[in-house]
Chain A
Amino acid sequence: MISDITIGQFMPGKSFIHKLDPRMKIILMTAIIIFIFLAKNLFSMGAMVAFVVLAILFSRIPLKMYFKGLKAIWFLVFFTAALNMLYIKGEHVVFQYKALTIYEEALWQSGFIAIRLVMIVVISSMLTYTTSPTDLTAAIERLLAPLKLFRLPVHELAMMMTIALRFIPTLLEETEKIMNAQKARGADLESGGVIKRAKALIPILIPLFISSFRRAFELAIAMDCRCYTGGKGRTRLNVLKYRFRDIFAFLLIGGLCYGIIYLNTLAPSLVR
């Protein structure tokens, strides 16, 4: 079902991760994602997996939600892992059948890639699950603030992001409604080849586009009515402030990153 899509969904809560400063969260999540790629042997990868599992527990978001987020990428994970398994050449042959040869190196590589992909999705869903869209964009705005020097409209970009995130669920709902309306007129969305299916999308996409434009106009007027004039001179009700727990989290992740590098030296790399 279309309502299974969980990107950008925020689940209010009071966990340690929920309470972290959103700027810190973005920085730390980025660091984690980089280090997911740097973990190259079983020790460092093990540490990373253990950390992510702990983070999941600490976020107090139901496991089900993470699985829902992963549902959309199972195919991608499987596909990249399979491709890697078939194409990477190495020295130790594990399995051979006619032209098909699978090397030990390929097994490690595809296993690592699968785990990395899953962890990246988990970590980035954790960011959106635990951070309200307003916090998220406020943080992005602050983090990108230095780019103002290069005349980049940072506030406007952040506002666009907030609006985009805000309208994901609305658009999904609308898509479902239009799909049902066209189905009621006998639209056949489930059968036929690629071209027929692509054609069947037209009656859904056109109304969707039109209503998006309509919504955009309405929103623009509503913003105008409240005298929105862009970022200049705009102040915030809740000014972001680093607290003790943010420093603690920073040190924790710093330790983790150092640990990954150290563990990498303990055993030879299994992947490139």
Chain B
Amino acid sequence: MALIETHDLRFVYGKGTPFEKVALDGVNISIEQGEFIGVIGHTGSGKSTLVQLLNGLFRPESGKIMLDGRDIWEKPKKIRNVRFEVGLVFQYPEYQLFEETVYKDIAFGPTNKGIKDKDELDRIIRTSAEFAGLKETLLEKSPFDLSGGEKRRAAIAGVIAMQPKVLILDEPTAGLDPKGRDRILDRISAYRQKTGSTVLLVSHSMEDIARVADRVLVMNHGKVEMFDETKNIFKHGQRLAEIGLRVPQVTQVFLELKRLGADVRTDVYTMDFAKGVAMDFLRGDKKEENNSENSSTDTKQETTEGGEAE
């Protein structure tokens, strides 16, 4: 049985007003326990709406959301419990911080959940902070004294602290510098490996998605465009471009190399993998002087870039 399933999910904004807009229509997806799902789509494609529906913040117009085989809106009064099971980290979550100290802020979620035991609460807060990569010394600081990246990680810790089965992050890396970005993605991957929980990552960055996701959900105009393993998704470069998306930059490089006549694979979508493929290619291919010269400069740039990113 899948952990999350949706059946013909439909959602309309501003029902009955002149501004009525169908945000989601006929969405059927199924997510297994422990999967890492990337969610992509252009602005207004319905991805943020979808994650807020999964978390029970909006009520679907029609259709069902099943969590562990049960309709989350079965008992509308108990919807709060769903929010503890499906933790949602909003876009720019640092703006939700409000407590005097980071420690207290992280405690907000678990306290709401009803965890009263001081020691247990303390343990949860400290492990969540660790998962989010927050140093112990930061816990007693005011959240407003932290740096941008730290604030965001504190906010993520606040959601992890509810110990949700599913963690959903809506563009957790938006507006961060490359270092802060890598740090958050690494932390999320580590969290997922250690706890085995299901993670949904909404992102505009194909690079981020390619790096961490097992499967990718592509949304387009409120409908599911594709939902497949990451490598299969990025094979459809042209279709992705049509709906306002693209394949990762490194994949573009390899597609271009192929077009120029170099015999390389094109299912390359992460830096690490690209490095290997490029090295193999440079060692093995000496036939076409002209092309390989071109491509070797290109790939070299790429590999050095890759090296820096690490």
| Interfacial residues, chain A to chain B (CB-CB below 8 A) | 177-178, 180-188, 202-203, 206-207, 210-211
Contact = CB atoms under 8 A, between A and B. Distances in A.
20 contacts: A178-B96, A180-B57, A181-B93, A182-B96, A183-B57, A184-B57, A184-B88, A184-B90, A184-B159, A185-B83, A185-B96, A185-B108, A185-B158, A185-B159, A186-B108, A188-B112, A207-B97, A210-B95, A210-B144, A211-B95
Among all A-B residue pairs, the 5 with the closest Cβ atoms: A186-B112, A206-B98, A181-B96, A185-B109, A184-B88
B162 A186 contact: yes
A189 to B, nearest CB: 10
A51 to B, nearest CB: 28
A188 B144 CA distance: 24
A24 to B, nearest CB: 30
B121 to A, nearest CB: 14
B87 A184 contact: yes
Given A180-B52, A180-B90, A210-B144, A185 B95 contact: no
Contacts of A186: 80, 83-84, 108-109, 112-113, 162
B55 interface: yes
Contacts of B113: 186
Contacts of B87: 184
Nearest to A214: B95
A52 to B, nearest CB: 24
Interface string B87-106: 11110010111100000000
B175 to A, nearest CB: 14
Interface of B: 52, 55, 57, 80, 83-84, 87-90, 93, 95-98, 108-109, 112-113, 144, 158-159, 162
A207 B96 contact: yes
A206 B88 CA distance: 20
Chain B CB within 10 A, most for which of A185, A187, A188, A210 = A185
Contacts of A210: 95, 144
A122 B55 CA distance: 39
B90 A181 contact: yes
Contact of A184 (B55, B95, B97, B98): B55
B47 to A, nearest CB: 15
B96 A188 contact: no
A187 B162 CA distance: 12
Contacts of B98: 202-203, 206-207
A203 B57 contact: no
Given A180-B90, A186-B108, A187-B108, 14 more contacts: A178-B95, A178-B96, A181-B93, A184-B87, A184-B88, A184-B90, A185-B109, A185-B158, A186-B83, A186-B84, A186-B162, A203-B108, A207-B96, A211-B95
Nearest to B112: A186
Chain B CB within 10 A, most for which of A180, A182, A184 = A184
A183 B90 contact: no
Nearest to A3: B14
Nearest to A206: B98
Nearest to A181: B96
Contacts of B84: 186
A177 B52 CA distance: 11
Nearest to A174: B95
B50 to A, nearest CB: 14
B90 A177 contact: yes
Contacts of B97: 207
Given A188-B112, A202-B98, A207-B98, A183 B144 contact: no
Given A177-B90, A211-B95, A184 B108 contact: no
A93 B95 CA distance: 60
Nearest to A211: B95
B72 to A, nearest CB: 14
A115 to B, nearest CB: 28
Contacts of A188: 80, 112
A204 B95 CA distance: 10
A206 B262 CA distance: 58
